[in-house]
C-alpha cells in the first residue's frame, strides 16, 4: 500500500508539473484542481496502472482530454458534436490499447464516464443544498 501511495504521489506530481503552465479553472488552486487530483488517483487505482503504465498513459490522456474539451467548446450541431466526440474516443482507444491493453482501455471509458457522472451529481447536489432545496 505504501508503494501504491508513493507511486500515486509521483504520478500526480509529474502530471501536475506538466500542467502547471496552463491556466483556467482546472489548472491552479481550487475545486477543479482537487477534482483532477482525485480523478488521477481514482483512474490510476481503477485501471491498476503501474508506474510504467502511468508514465505512458497520462500524457496520452492529456491529449485526449484536450481534444475532447476543444470539441465540447465548439459551437456546432449537437449530433455532429456527438459524432466527433465518438471519433475522438475511437482514435484514443487505439492509443490507450497500445499502452494498457484492450481490457483496461475499455475499462477506462467506463470508469471515466462513471467518475464524471458522480462529480456532476455531487456538484448538482451541492448547488441544491446551497439554494436550500432538499430532495
In tens, the pLDDT along 14-41 reads 444 444 444 444 445 677 899 999 999 9
CA torsion 51-49-36-20 (nearest 10°) is 30
pTM: 0.72
**What is the predicted pLDDT for the residue at 101?**
97
**More confident position, 29 or 125:** 125
Rounded Cα gap, residues 34 and 5, in angstroms: 17
In tens, the pLDDT along 74-104 reads 988 999 999 999 999 999 999 999 999 999 9
**What is the predicted pLDDT for the residue at 6?**
45
Amino acid at each position: 500500500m505504501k508503494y501504491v501511495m508513493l507511486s500515486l504521489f509521483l504520478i500526480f506530481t509529474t502530471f501536475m508539473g506538466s500542467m502547471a503552465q496552463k491556466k483556467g479553472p482546472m489548472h491552479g488552486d481550487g475545486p477543479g484542481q482537487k477534482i483532477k487530483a482525485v480523478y488521477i488517483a481514482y483512474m490510476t487505482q481503477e485501471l491498476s496502472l503501474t508506474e510504467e503504465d502511468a508514465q505512458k498513459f497520462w500524457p496520452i490522456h492529456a491529449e485526449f482530454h484536450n481534444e475532447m474539451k476543444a470539441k465540447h467548446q465548439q459551437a456546432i450541431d449537437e449530433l455532429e458534436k456527438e459524432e466527433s466526440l465518438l471519433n475522438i474516443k475511437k482514435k484514443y482507444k487505439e492509443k490507450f490499447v497500445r499502452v494498457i491493453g484492450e481490457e483496461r482501455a475499455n475499462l477506462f471509458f467506463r470508469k471515466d464516464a462513471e467518475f464524471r457522472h458522480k462529480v456532476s451529481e455531487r456538484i448538482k447536489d451541492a448547488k441544491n443544498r446551497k439554494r436550500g432545496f432538499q430532495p
